[in-house]
């Protein structure tokens, strides 16, 4: 469609705007979360990262390391009940964690941002307690 005043007016007066609004609403409904597209770590049988797989792109060394951790958990060779993934903002920590959770199957997985943890409204202990309850599915009665 050209950008002449007549075509812009036809675009604005027609049903195209309604279609765009419906499409935008549809996109909002389909998106569950920032990492809802991740279905695994994107590794082959030898734990080698595939270029693009299971919603994962890049971070090949981190994905391979996460695959080794996942294998150790499945074989019962790793102690403890938590994995700490540290790094700078935007480096893929949550995506890797989601991939690990998807690889393990029925694993409780809860994300928590720094703003939730350092909230002025509730204490750090309460924020962690709420995240733990959410992760294991405990509901509190009021």
pLDDT digits (tens, 9 = 90+) for 55-90: 777 788 888 998 998 898 888 888 767 788 888 888
Is 72 contained in some domain? Answer: yes
Domain range for 78: 15-107
Neighbouring residues of 89: CB distance < 8 A, sequence distance ≥ 6 = none
Is 131 contained in some domain? Answer: no
pLDDT digits (tens, 9 = 90+) for 87-98: 888 888 888 888
Is 116 contained in some domain? Answer: no
Q: Is 53 helix (H, G, I), strand (E, B) or coil?
A: strand
Is 55 contained in some domain? Answer: yes
pLDDT digits (tens, 9 = 90+) for 15-58: 555 665 555 555 444 545 666 677 788 888 898 888 777 777 77
- Can you tell me the distance from the alpha carbon of 89 to that of 59, in angstroms, rounded to the nearest whole number? 14
Is 52 contained in some domain? Answer: yes
Domain CATH for 100:
3.40.50.300
Query: Average of pLDDT values for 121-130?
Result: 84
Phi, psi dihedrals of residue 40, rounded to the nearest 5°: 170, -170
Phi, psi dihedrals of residue 97, rounded to the nearest 5°: -60, -40
């Amino acid at each position: 469609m050209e950008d002449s005043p007549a075509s812009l007016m036809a675009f604005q007066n027609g049903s195209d705007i309604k279609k765009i609004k419906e499409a935008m609403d549809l996109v909002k409904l389909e998106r569950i979360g920032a990492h809802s597209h991740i279905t695994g770590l994107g590794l082959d049988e030898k734990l080698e990262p595939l270029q693009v797989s299971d919603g994962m792109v890049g971070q090949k060394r981190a994905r391979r390391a996460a695959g080794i951790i996942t294998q150790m958990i499945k074989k019962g060779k790793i102690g403890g009940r938590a994995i700490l993934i540290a790094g700078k903002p935007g480096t893929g920590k949550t995506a890797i964690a989601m991939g690990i959770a998807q690889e393990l199957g029925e694993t409780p997985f809860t994300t928590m941002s720094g703003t939730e943890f350092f909230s002025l409204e509730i204490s750090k202990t309460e924020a962690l307690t709420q995240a733990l309850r959410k992760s294991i599915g405990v509901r509190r009665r009021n």
